[in-house]
Amino acid sequence: MKHLAPVPLCPSHNDRMKVNPTFTGYACPSDGCTVTYTEEVGYFRVVGGVKQRPLNVRRCSKCAVHLYLVQRGENRLDDIWLCPNKECPAKRLHLV
Ligand SMILES: [Zn+2]
Ligand SMILES: [Zn+2]
């Protein structure tokens, strides 16, 4: 899988997530937290090994890939979300 830099944060804990090979994505390291992020689905929880409905659906306006959280702002509008697509045209505009 592709390694992302900066790494995604868990939207529930603001923890830096760790690579999770099971879902070829990132998982929250917090005890009892099953939040996972993949480019295909975005953020979702895993209960009993089963993917649950996505937590939020934020897609890149340019390439439609699911964005990931890299920094919490003072309020939700100031949160910073990145597009994981290296070829994305938005990289040149306002992201990164
Ligand atoms: Zn978490
Ligand atoms: Zn994009």
**pLDDT per residue as tens digits for the range 25-80:** 999 999 999 999 999 999 999 999 899 999 878 999 999 999 999 999 999 889 99
Q: Are 56 and 43 in contact (CB under 8 A)?
A: yes
pTM of the prediction? 0.87
Q: 73 C-alpha vs ligand 2 centroid, how far in Å?
A: 21
Residues with CB under 5 A from ligand 2 (ion): 60, 62-63, 83, 85, 88, 90
Count of Cβ atoms closer than 10 Å to residue 91 Cβ: 16
Amino acid at 8: P
Contacts of 74 (CB under 8 A, 6+ apart): none
Q: 8 C-alpha vs ligand 2 centroid, how far in Å?
A: 15
- Rounded Cα distance, 47 and 16, in Å: 20
Q: Are 69 and 76 in contact (CB under 8 A)?
A: no
Identify the H or E element spanning 47: strand 42-47
Q: 9 C-alpha vs ligand 1 centroid, how far in Å?
A: 8
- Rounded Cα distance, 63 and 36, in Å: 21
